[in-house]
Structure 1
Amino acid sequence: MALYVSSKLKHYRWLCKVISPAYLQGKSNLSIPVGDKDWREIIYLASFHGVLPSLFIALRNNQLLDSLPKDLSEALEGFYELNCLFNVQLRDQIISTTRLLNGCGIEPIWLKGAIHLLAPNWRQSSRTMADLDLWIPEPKEQLLAIEILTNDGYFIQPESVGKDYRLSQHYAPIIKSGQPARLEIHRHIVTPFCCALLNDEDALKKVVRGDKEGCSFGILSTEDQIMQSYLQCTEQGADCFNPRNTVGLMKMVDFLERFSSPDHLEKWFSENPQLNGEPWRLKARQFHSHLNCYFSIDYNGKKNSSYMRQVVFALNFPRLDGIYYIIKHGSFLLWRRKLGALNNWPGKLYRKLVFLKSL
């Protein structure tokens, strides 16, 4: 058992270090795993965290692909190329959605991963995504956009029907047959709880206007993109069944890749001292601790040792941690009366248990 649990931790640590931008790390040698069992676990982790394309790019940039078995390097290249092809479909969806909204006088502001597909080098992007987020600042235009997209064939995805999105930053996700991703129309850029860090009104003044293929849209300023990415990794990091509910690695890489150097990263944190105050300090310290331990990002502040011990436990014993999460989160939802209809409980619990078996 000791060997089993230590390998889980070792593979996670290795993956984080490889996909972390090399220019943000201190100098160190990077060894290549040699066993089939090692690579099976690494591929599983990279797939689960949405970083398989990033893993290929990192190994290629570090000239390490030749050190891998040929079939493995070819498989990683295949995953990357498949993601590039999928990104073509996603970009087509962005353009068609923008053109549809422009036709009714609405100029969407694209957020998060969608921004990568509007950049000049979008074809080489290793970013993975399952949804496309767009913000429409004017409430009346939000409702009009939903009506336009509904008439075009979009509908609320089944698992979101009946859920209460009134306090969310976006409306219920919508999907359309034949389109690769769901759309999330944002009322606000971030949750109301986080608006003190990224305010709609201030961000709107700095929006950068763009035009692609005759479509008019906006994207957030570089500073606001970084802040939204940071919040996706901290206050809005809601990914379940990652180590002790840490955010997915894809989002951490997305944040780190927005910086050009360690000085740039340090400067951004120094220019946002409010992150070290209440109520943001806990998540900020957890995030810093994780980046320092697993991504080799220098950090001179106080580490959250208790949180990191919990991460280690979750990596070593993922099923036990998953069971603990189900009990804890289920109790919380029961206490807050958010578990939904009683007849839906068995199905929800069954899906969680099936997922636990795959860990």
Structure 2
Amino acid sequence: MAALHPTRLVAACLSLGDSPDPILDATITSTDCDWPRIFWSAGNHLVTPSLAGALTRKGLFDRLPTEVQDYLVGLQALNRERNQALYQALSAVVARLNDADIEPLLLKGAIALLTGQYPGASDRVLGDLDLLVPGDRLDEASALAQTIGYRKAELPMVFPGDQDRMQHAVPLLHPTLPVTLEIHRRMLNNPEDNSRLESGLKARRLMLEGVGRVQVPDTGTRILHNFLHAQIQDQQRRRRVLNLRQLYEFAALAKQHADTLDWPSIMNRLRGGHRQAFAEYLGQAESWLGLPYPRTAMRAPSTPRELWLIEQVERHDVLRRAFAVYSEALRMPRRLARLPLRLVHTPGWFPAKFRALRQTRS
């Protein structure tokens, strides 16, 4: 364990088993343990606030050096304070939407703010608040949020019709808090993936501590949304990017609900080409976080190769950059085909892009 890459050590700390691991214990309590590199890796994956809780559940936290304990507890407390502010902001938005008889469906990290989630959910780092509303009430919901102080974020110039094709309205910024609100018309950008995902959605209603009414997706839909958003829409599979924050939530949900999840039915909600990628994602959860691979879920022959590639990309920045270029190159033909129309409809787009490029280089 002592020779492991720092990201492997972070993953070992987050692994799903709660019983003490003697090898992990010996490694993280050793005087040779390189905590700055571990913290750097955990920070890159946005999981540092999760380490204190994970190691406490394993019975190892008290074995850490005092300064390491203080650092982890401090970050955990700061993140929980931020999440409390996010919860209060969410409650205010939900109450305003409920006044107009809109009952939003919580998505992604917003669900982690609720009680009774998987172990460690309260320590999840949230980027923004994602809510789904009926498509024909998207503009109304955005306007309602603006009546309580939210304002639209400034976006770069977009091609006519691009905003209508996006899965959410223009992001909204809280007037005083570092909170971004994204109100969605659909769960995913890709229409076919979204149709398959939402067709199997089974939502349940909850109260936000008496403040307002929300809906929450069933676990199978949450697992699929996690995979499709991170691996497919954000192209992390194509770029062979490891994302421990998303993978941990995926694995924790899968383990917590292992007895009730129908894996063949879950995988059948995916397009054929995505089922292999989903099996590879399960393989990531097994390899990095110790998720017992579901007996009824298919395995992909490509998983060992993909796991090796992900490990190499995590270790070598040159490979990370190479796969990022490769991913962008695959998108280039479609972008080039749209350039003439973009020039006609938004002639100021190219000067704006040029100015932005100059600013990034200055």
What is the SS of the residue equivalent to 1:218?
A: strand
What is the SS of the residue equivalent to 2:335?
A: coil
Query: What amino acid does structure 2 have at the position aligned with 1:17?
Result: A
Q: Distance in 2 between matches of 1:349 and 1:275?
A: 45
The CA deviation at 1:233 is: 4.2
Q: Distance in 2 between matches of 1:32 and 1:160?
A: 47
Query: What amino acid does structure 2 have at the position aligned with 1:18?
Result: C
The CA deviation at 1:44 is: 1.2
Q: Which runs of 5+ in 1 are unaligned?
A: 1-5, 355-359
Q: Which residue of 2 aligns with 1:41?
A: 37
The CA deviation at 1:224 is: 2.6
Q: Which residue of 2 aligns with 1:269?
A: 263
Q: Distance in 2 between matches of 1:206 and 1:270?
A: 20
Cα deviation digits, residues 267-313 of structure 1 (max 9, x gap): 54244342787121331233133223222334482342332232232
Query: What amino acid does structure 2 have at the position aligned with 1:149?
Result: A
Q: Which segment drifts farther, 31-40 or 248-257?
A: 31-40
Task: Give 1:286's match in structure 2, choosing from 265, 280, 286.
Answer: 280
1:257–1:291 CA distance, 2 compared to 1 (3 A): closer
The CA deviation at 1:77 is: 0.6
1:335–1:303 CA distance, 2 compared to 1 (3 A): closer
Query: What amino acid does structure 2 have at the position aligned with 1:82?
Result: L
Q: Which residue of 2 aligns with 1:312?
A: 311
Task: Give 1:73's match in structure 2, choosing from 69, 72, 78.
Answer: 69
What is the SS of the residue equivalent to 1:110?
A: strand
Correspondences of 1:144-293 after superposition (within 5 Å): 144-159=140-155, 162=158, 164-191=162-189, 192-199=191-198, 202-203=200-201, 206-238=203-235, 244-260=239-255, 263-264=258-259, 267-274=261-268, 278-293=272-287
Q: Distance in 1 between matches of 2:121 and 2:198?
A: 31
1:76–1:161 CA distance, 2 compared to 1 (3 A): farther
Q: Distance in 2 between matches of 1:152 and 1:186?
A: 18
The CA deviation at 1:150 is: 3.0
Correspondences of 1:123-138 after superposition (within 5 Å): 125-137=122-134
Number of paired residues? 339
Q: What RMSD, in angstroms, separates the aligned Cα atoms of the two structures?
A: 3.5
What is the SS of the residue equivalent to 2:164?
A: coil
The CA deviation at 1:174 is: 1.7
Q: Distance in 2 between matches of 1:55 and 1:233?
A: 22
Q: Which residue of 2 aligns with 1:341?
A: 350
What is the SS of the residue equivalent to 2:101?
A: coil
The CA deviation at 1:134 is: 0.4
Q: Which residue of 2 aligns with 1:323?
A: 321
Question: What TM-score does the superposition give when structure 1 sets the normalisation length?
Answer: 0.80
The CA deviation at 1:186 is: 0.9
Q: Does 1:100 align with 2:96?
A: yes
Q: Are the equivalent residues in 2 in contact too, given 1:53–1:80 (CA < 8 A)? A: yes
Q: Distance in 1 between matches of 2:42 and 2:81?
A: 19
Task: Give 2:6's match in structure 1, choosing from 7, 11, 14.
Answer: 11
What is the SS of the residue equivalent to 1:144?
A: helix
Q: Distance in 1 between matches of 2:68 and 2:148?
A: 42
1:193–1:322 CA distance, 2 compared to 1 (3 A): same
What is the SS of the residue equivalent to 1:158?
A: coil
What is the SS of the residue equivalent to 1:264?
A: coil
Q: Distance in 2 between matches of 1:36 and 1:341?
A: 53
Q: Distance in 2 between matches of 1:173 and 1:146?
A: 9
Q: Which segment drifts farther, 94-103 or 153-162?
A: 153-162
Q: Are the equivalent residues in 2 in contact too, given 1:112–1:229 (CA < 8 A)? A: yes
Q: Which residue of 1 aligns with 2:136?
A: 140
